Structure 1
Amino acid sequence: MDAEMEIDSPELRGSKRAAEEAELSEVSKPKRIKALDPNVVNKIAAGEIIVAPMHALKELIENSVDAGSTNIEVLVKDGGLKLLQITDNGHGIDREDLPILCERFTTSKLKDFEDLSSIGTYGFRGEALASISHIAHLTVTTKTAGSSCAWRAHYGEGKLAPAKPGQNAAPKATAGRGGTQITVEDLFYNIPSRRRAFRSSSEEYAKILDVVGRYAVHCAGVGFSCRKHGDSGVSISTPSAASTIDRIRQIHGSAVANELVEFEASDQKLGFRASGLATNANYHVKKTTILLFINHRAVESTAVKRAIEQTYSAFLPKGGHPFIYLDLEIEPRRVDVNVHPTKREVNFLNEDEIIEMVCSEVRSKLAQVDSSRTFLTQTLLPGVQAIESLQTDQASEGATDAKAAKAATTPKTPGTYKRPDESKLVRTDSKVRKITSMLAPSPAHEPSDANAQPGIPPPPLEDDGLQYETTNRQPLKIAFTSIKNLRSAVRSKMHNTLTEMFASHTYVGLIDERRRLAAIQSGVKLFLIDYGLACNEFFYQVGLTDFGNFGTIRLDPPPKLIDLLNIAVEAEQEDLSNRNDDEAETVFTQAAEKIFESLIERGEMLKEYFSMEISEDGELLSIPLLLKGYVPSLAKLPRFLLRLGLYVEWNSEEECFSTFLRELAAFYTPEKLPVLPSESTSDEDRTAAEPEGEDPFIVARRAQMARMLEYAIFPALRARLVATQRMLRGVVEVADLKGLYRVFERC
């Protein structure tokens, strides 16, 4: 009770109210506004601009690029906190500008505020070096082209400072190369709270490498290198002459560089032009990598990143992300560059429209590439027995690895099998079944063998009566300049994509003997090939590569050369008489004898270089063999001999070889076979023609040609053909896998 009385005593209550009134009176008085100390102001500004070593390096790199440097070297110690040095070969800094170099808002790139609307350089506010000098020890060594020596200056808190206490702060002459070297030491030495916030030097070094890598990819014509202090090797090194793709390969690896597609977009009304490189659907990682440059300034944009990821969501699996390098150039008057202290972000007009146009172009490029994606598949799917027997043999022989031996002998537990969707199955083995087995056999194509089955192709060319003999003749080493020139002429006209297509194709089948059309598959596409045009070019190339070393086809019994020429002349005369060309008919009549004499006279050269032998009695004993397993049409032989006399330039070595091999290639090119009677006759005539049927010779030749195309010609095209530009007109794409899927889905 006494205690309560003491607490509630009037004296104590009155004292308490007096204290409260005094406190309230202090709070009610307004605090006076004072100007901050300039040193505090500068440190606050420095803290906004230089948040981490990577931001200091970004400002220094931009200054070096603005100075016209072609080579920039970065040296880092302890993640940039202990040492951050950048050396360039730019135009340097004048001696007279060094005293105000690190003062705030001193710049050579901006004069009036209106200049911000047309700024085209990286830096423009003049705060980078000033901010660094307030939170680190800064040293600048520079030499201009017109200076006889380099100048070194030390800075502290924005002003020149002596290198050591008691020395003069003025810049000192020193030896140095052209350009500027800026050394930043003990970053954040006077802000211990921020210095303690950095967890590890390796993490900060990784961020520095990211900054250097971004500018190394974008800055064409500028070489970059970055290394740790004390390391002999460099972490990043890109030569100044490297292309953008090579720079990406150096920094981000071949896995990215090999899957890049190029894209471009522009619009004059929106005042922008975009270009860049993006990975296709074959590449994806767990995190999106975007190298975004707007007016050559490395920036970040959440809107661009979100739009790019949305675009790729239709092409990549769930959780997959792309790599993209985007160089966006916008009219300076449409861009506000002064919205972020570190210039990490910018604002520009028509942002949504520009992003949509860029994403639309990327989407279009991805759709084109997606139609030619390739997949690795197992060729022989039903090969379980062969694999099991091979494993058993390996186990019986004794494996050095005990685990491998145990795995080879122990049967695996069968896993759960899920039946695949039939609409998504793709046939990968061309030997399992032919497309012809799904078609009704034509009477003209029925196999003659009683044991043959419809739809099963005949065996290879082993039953056509072809016999081959080997000779002891040593191969000739041809070093003629004319042949070398002709070979190089073929290589100079090579079409790379077409050559790769023929080198990787799978023969599908013969389409039309009269038009000489065949179908082949390359990758996921189906092509229609003019095999007459392809064979003409192929046999010409065989003539060049095997020149002087041809095989021979023996003619038994050998025909008379003059008789063959007369047959050709009569055929030409008959053709000319239908055209009423009497003058040309007389020329052909006189030409046979002259051609005969010309070929007899050059018989030794024809035998040595072209394996074409003519006896003293004028008999044609042999003709050249260009491809084993293929027999040219001997019905074309008379015309071939006639054209040798009319169109071969015998007086010039290179022209002689070229024209002769062209005529030889035309002779070897498969002939056009007539259409089947059921296709070439009307309904009335077909009834009369059916009892007699087609000429047996044409029937045999048709079957022979089908087999020679599949087993001799197209395998040879796959192995040896160098496709040239002129062959483009003989190749037509008729289908691709993606397009067929769409058709099947509609069905």
Structure 2
Amino acid sequence: MAEDIEIETSSPRGTKRKGDDSLPLPAPRRIKALAQDVVNKIAAGEIIVAPVHALKELIENAVDAGSTALEVVIKDGGLKLLQITDNGHGIDKEDLPILCERFTTSKLKAFEDLTSIGTYGFRGEALASISHIAHLNVTTRTKESSCAWRAYYADGKLASPKPGQSAEPKPIAGRPGTQITVEDLFYNVPSRRRAFRSASEEYAKILDMVGRYSVHCLGVSFSCKKHGDTTSGVSVPANAGPVDRIRQIHGSAVANELVALKAENERWGFKCEGWISNANHNSKRTTLLLFINHRAVESPAIKKSVEQTYATFLPKGGHPFAYLSLDIEPQRVDVNVHPTKREVHFLNEDEIIAIICDEIRNSLSKVDTSRSFMTQSLLSNPKVPFATPMKQTTPSTPTTADTSDRHSAKTVSKTITKKPYENNLVRTDASARKITSMLQPHPSVDGGANDEDEMDYEYTEKTATVCRLTSVKELRAEVRDAMHNELTDIISTHTFVGIVDEEKRIAAIQGGVKLFLVDYGMLCNEYFYQVGLTDFANYGSIRFNPPLPLEELLTVAAELEKNNAGDAADEVDWEEVVESVKEQLINRRLMLIDYFMMEITKEGQLCSLPLLVKGYTPSIAKLPQFLLRLGPHVDWDTERGCFQSFLRELASFYVPECLPLPPSASTTKDASGKGKQKVAEEDAEIALRRKNIRRAIEYVIFPACKARLVATRGLLKGVMEVANLKGLYRVFERC
């Protein structure tokens, strides 16, 4: 059989064939220098890999320039627009021609300076790289300059903004500092531009980078938002401390569980400060904010060591939060090892990491042996879910059953739900039983079944007035800038519990699994002020029929002030005060009716007041004092001051009045010696006012605040956390 097999041996596999000697060999390629344009684009591609890298360079340049306020505006993830504005030293006009040339810097003079570098940037390649792959313009002004200068750049050189125009910097109006605008990033590198998957993903990276420097750069305010948005993705004030900055960026769940960390060693020439989470906090992934000599960097070795240190303190699958700032002697650090300066190398890395991890271990051990549980704090994290979703569970496999039984058990398991933990259970149904139902009911004032007064409303065909006054727009912007995101979320998602004290004007609300006491007087004051700004010149009106005499109302208020002033009352001519305020209001009656729907006749008759919210009428008992305060407490000389002070007084007038506490039950003994409880009767008028206030607060004011109130930082003083269901469970678990 073997002899019958034919084997072809003409071209065996695996053997080397000889080349054809008759074919000519290719000529050797000559080595040529790349064109400068190609060199610049290659360098730009190494330094600016994504929009976030361009922003990192610009942030570092701004902080190096002594800025205390940075504003970042992003469009399409930074590919369409990337703008950063600072209030730093600015750039001299004479330096603008070489600003975007490669290796032009104000931070190095000799190579030896690298051993003592103390700034973020030093190579002078950031702006040069950006100018080769984007449209770049710079607006800058120094303190000594009388105007700002704007320059456009292309390929590292000055360029004209439009064809035919001069490329020289042009003088314009501007504030001290620098604004750098990068448009159409990677417009001439289409392959790089197509590599980005989504603008939202790039914007998330930018927010993360801005958040890192916001935590680290104390004394510098940061703001980052999308182009055209009114709210900021990141907003950190300049006076915030490290913990407050972490709270703003990463939430209260992290900030409430932080431990300070300090480590240093003279032998290895380093100091480390930071904040780390304790054993009570764990998340799905590690968050490490690492700064070496104030530069945001990444270090897989440090991250891995920190995670291994926490492994003995956290449950399986838990990860920590850590913010570490290392100061290492500059001569021990080589910062020039990565094009984007994302990584740095330093001497004695293993020894330094070991010391830091030992200090982390010691800090966590101290906290674990003696823990302090917070029973009261100013605010909490509003992002705690109101109810834990029901999760499907699979029961254990039955031991005595056949295959069909096991199959049916798996089928049934799909409908079995797991009961949520008790510390996540929250009542959010407004129809459920409330705390007020447990109190002893008071008898009705007039004996009727329904005391609610039906108000008659008359609707007009008047069209809404669009407010174009700059002063009002500025006041609205002030409210937006003072917004506290966490408190706004709590108010907008709260559940009203009940009024605690009408005398101190305190109400209880529930947010998530936490209970808060709120100064509703302060809350109402801010709400009605914002309504006054939002609906400016578009209020309804409360009409008096017949009109009220202005002089008599002012006289009543003056008598009240005179009685409260005591001995100082004789120093004031109250009749003159009444006459002065009356004349002031009459002389400005046209403005009052146009902007505030407050109608006053020439004869001094008050015909109407502004109506800010439907279903609620302010206490008329406060009207005389409101009118009297309009004289000395309103800035009638300036437009902005007038609107602001008048709306503040109007909001104060609309705040529900303070009422004395309801009479309590007293115990008396009869002839037999047995005690009987007797409730003192309350004045009918006070009881009616109390009932109206309670109804208005629960069914009108708090629902309105929930719908449209922008909670400002000033309201933090009026909100206090008194109970935390999760915190209480945590305390009792360790008792």
**1:702 maps to which of 685, 690, 701:** 690
AA of the residue aligned to 1:487: R
Q: Does 1:648 align with 2:634?
A: yes
- 1:321 deviation in Å? 5.8
Q: Give per-residue Cα distances to partners, 1:534-568, cap 9 Å, x unaligned.
A: 22222222222212111111223433222222222
Distance 1:654 1:289 in 2: 46
User: Which residue does the alignment assign to 1:742?
Assistant: 730
Distance 1:550 1:530 in 2: 26
AA of the residue aligned to 2:687: V
User: Which residue does the alignment assign to 1:639?
Assistant: 625
User: Which residue does the alignment assign to 1:581?
Assistant: 569
User: Which residue does the alignment assign to 2:468?
Assistant: 479
User: Which residue does the alignment assign to 1:455?
Assistant: none
Distance 2:48 2:725 in 1: 50
Aligned pairs (5 A) from 1:162-561: 233-234=194-195, 245=209, 265-269=261-265, 271-273=270-272, 283-284=283-284, 301=301, 305=304, 308-309=307-308, 311=310, 318-319=316-317, 348-349=350-351, 352-358=354-360, 372=381, 374-376=383-385, 417=416, 420=419, 423-424=422-423, 426-436=425-435, 439-443=438-442, 463-561=452-550
Quick one: structure 1 residues 670 and 359, their matched pair in 2 at CA, closer, same or farther if it must change by over 3 Å? farther
Q: Is residue 510–residue 706 contact of structure 1 (8 Å, CA) maintained in 2?
A: yes
Distance 1:438 1:745 in 2: 31
User: Which residue does the alignment assign to 1:721?
Assistant: 709
Q: Is residue 272–residue 356 contact of structure 2 (8 Å, CA) maintained in 1?
A: no
Quick one: structure 1 residues 527 and 298, their matched pair in 2 at CA, closer, same or farther if it must change by over 3 Å? closer
User: Which residue does the alignment assign to 1:596?
Assistant: 582
How big is the alpha-carbon RMSD for the aligned residues of Structure 1 and Structure 2?
5.6
User: Which residue does the alignment assign to 2:597?
Assistant: 611
- 1:624 deviation in Å? 0.9
User: Which residue does the alignment assign to 2:132?
Assistant: none
Q: Does 1:660 align with 2:631?
A: no
Q: Give per-residue Cα distances to partners, 1:63-118, cap 9 Å, x unaligned.
A: xxxxxx8862699xxxxxxxxxxxxx9879xxxxxxxxxxxxxxx99xxxxxxxx9
Quick one: structure 1 residues 689 and 701, their matched pair in 2 at CA, closer, same or farther if it must change by over 3 Å? farther
Distance 1:470 1:358 in 2: 68
Q: Give per-residue Cα distances to partners, 1:8-37, cap 9 Å, x unaligned.
A: xxxxxxxxxxxxxxxxxxxxxxxxxxxxxx
Distance 2:202 2:609 in 1: 59
Distance 2:471 2:191 in 1: 60
Q: Is residue 309–residue 357 contact of structure 2 (8 Å, CA) maintained in 1?
A: no
Quick one: structure 1 residues 372 and 636, their matched pair in 2 at CA, closer, same or farther if it must change by over 3 Å? closer
AA of the residue aligned to 1:532: G
Q: Is residue 384–residue 512 contact of structure 2 (8 Å, CA) maintained in 1?
A: no
AA of the residue aligned to 2:597: S
Quick one: structure 1 residues 521 and 360, their matched pair in 2 at CA, closer, same or farther if it must change by over 3 Å? farther
Aligned pairs (5 A) from 1:58-137: 72=46
What 5-or-longer segments of structure 2 have no aligned partner? 1-42, 50-100, 105-110, 119-124, 126-154, 157-184, 214-232, 234-247, 334-344, 391-410, 670-674
AA of the residue aligned to 1:640: F
Distance 1:229 1:645 in 2: 66
Name whichever of 269-278 and 503-512 sits farther off.
Answer: 269-278
Q: Does 1:732 align with 2:690?
A: no
Distance 2:103 2:389 in 1: 65
So what's the TM-score if we normalise by structure 1? 0.52
Question: Bigger radius of gyration, 1 or 2?
Answer: 1
- 1:515 deviation in Å? 0.7
Distance 2:287 2:530 in 1: 48
- 1:291 deviation in Å? 10
Quick one: structure 1 residues 312 and 543, their matched pair in 2 at CA, closer, same or farther if it must change by over 3 Å? farther
Quick one: structure 1 residues 234 and 561, their matched pair in 2 at CA, closer, same or farther if it must change by over 3 Å? closer
- 1:426 deviation in Å? 0.9
Distance 2:650 2:275 in 1: 50
Distance 1:564 1:438 in 2: 40
**1:567 maps to which of 556, 561, 574:** 556
Quick one: structure 1 residues 508 and 305, their matched pair in 2 at CA, closer, same or farther if it must change by over 3 Å? same
Q: Which is richer in helix?
A: 1
Tell me the matched-pair count. 483
Q: Is residue 513–residue 724 contact of structure 2 (8 Å, CA) maintained in 1?
A: yes
Distance 2:638 2:291 in 1: 61
Q: Is residue 289–residue 324 contact of structure 1 (8 Å, CA) maintained in 2?
A: yes
Distance 1:435 1:414 in 2: 36
Distance 1:710 1:380 in 2: 29
AA of the residue aligned to 2:454: G
Quick one: structure 1 residues 465 and 744, their matched pair in 2 at CA, closer, same or farther if it must change by over 3 Å? farther
User: Which residue does the alignment assign to 2:608?
Assistant: 622
Quick one: structure 1 residues 534 and 691, their matched pair in 2 at CA, closer, same or farther if it must change by over 3 Å? closer
Quick one: structure 1 residues 648 and 690, their matched pair in 2 at CA, closer, same or farther if it must change by over 3 Å? farther
Distance 2:190 2:571 in 1: 91
Name whichever of 515-524 and 420-429 sits farther off.
Answer: 420-429
- 1:284 deviation in Å? 2.4
AA of the residue aligned to 2:591: M
Quick one: structure 1 residues 361 and 556, their matched pair in 2 at CA, closer, same or farther if it must change by over 3 Å? farther
Distance 1:637 1:425 in 2: 47
SS of 1:642's equivalent in the other structure is helix
**2:658 maps to which of 672, 688, 703:** 672
- 1:648 deviation in Å? 2.7
What 5-or-longer segments of structure 1 have no aligned partner? 1-68, 76-88, 93-107, 110-117, 122-142, 144-176, 179-223, 336-342, 382-411, 451-457
Q: Give per-residue Cα distances to partners, 1:22-63, cap 9 Å, x unaligned.
A: xxxxxxxxxxxxxxxxxxxxxxxxxxxxxxxxxxxxxxxxxx
AA of the residue aligned to 2:284: H
Quick one: structure 1 residues 320 and 344, their matched pair in 2 at CA, closer, same or farther if it must change by over 3 Å? farther
Distance 1:579 1:691 in 2: 39
Distance 2:436 2:417 in 1: 29
SS of 1:556's equivalent in the other structure is strand
Name whichever of 631-640 and 526-535 sits farther off.
Answer: 526-535
Q: Is residue 519–residue 528 contact of structure 1 (8 Å, CA) maintained in 2?
A: yes
Quick one: structure 1 residues 466 and 746, their matched pair in 2 at CA, closer, same or farther if it must change by over 3 Å? farther
SS of 1:572's equivalent in the other structure is helix
Quick one: structure 1 residues 436 and 491, their matched pair in 2 at CA, closer, same or farther if it must change by over 3 Å? same
AA of the residue aligned to 2:691: A
Quick one: structure 1 residues 611 and 348, their matched pair in 2 at CA, closer, same or farther if it must change by over 3 Å? same
SS of 2:664's equivalent in the other structure is helix
Q: Give per-residue Cα distances to partners, 1:643-675, cap 9 Å, x unaligned.
A: 223333334333332222222111111111111
Q: Give per-residue Cα distances to partners, 1:421-477, cap 9 Å, x unaligned.
A: 774451242324243156332537899666xxxxxxx9xxx9322222211122222
Distance 1:345 1:683 in 2: 84
Quick one: structure 1 residues 244 and 619, their matched pair in 2 at CA, closer, same or farther if it must change by over 3 Å? closer
AA of the residue aligned to 1:72: E
SS of 2:722's equivalent in the other structure is strand
Distance 1:735 1:320 in 2: 26
So what's the TM-score if we normalise by structure 2? 0.53
Distance 1:572 1:733 in 2: 37
